[in-house]
Amino acid sequence: MAKTEQVEEQQEQQSDQVEAQTAEFSEAQEGDVTADETSLDILLDITMPITVNLGKVEVPFKRLLQLGPGSVLQLDKTIGQPAELCVQGIKFATGDIVVVDGCFAVRMKEVLGIDPPAEQQEQQE
């Protein structure tokens, strides 16, 4: 008997021996769910990276290959327009770029609320 035939035969024997059992679940109890302060403390210690978007520009690949030291890319925002602050790619605030102790910083200008997607707004109207 070839080795592959032996392996197939063993697999068939194993599949014949498998027994399925029904799962038993307890019923969930309804009740007030209260947030324990200690569980919230765990979340409060998580650090989140914030990205500041000063603007963007699109360049053809040919121009990208030509970039080097001293090249200048003009962004789509003008001086005075607020920068966008994002957490995990989601814009949550705007702010002005300032300098603090020789480092760039952002002065918060507006914290944005969470708006439902445009489709949901149209359905509500």
Query: Which segment of 4-13, 64-73, 113-122 scores lowest on mean pLDDT?
Result: 113-122
Q: Which range has highest mean pLDDT (11-20, 35-44, 89-98, 108-117)?
A: 89-98
Q: Are 94 and 112 in contact (CB under 8 A)?
A: yes
Is there a domain that residue 62 lies in? no
- Give the residue numbers spanning the domain of 86: 79-114
Report whether 90 contacts 114 (CB < 8 A).
Answer: no
Q: Which residue has the higher pLDDT, 60 or 118?
A: 60
34 — pLDDT class (breaks 50, 70, 90): low
Q: How many structural domains are present in the chain?
A: 1
Q: Is residue 17 part of a domain?
A: no
What are the phi and psi torsion angles at 14 (to 5°)?
A: -65, -40
Which tokens hold the place of 5? 């035939």
Three-state DSSP at 52 gives strand
Residue whose structure tokens are 């919230």: 40
For residue 85, tell me if it sits in a domain: yes
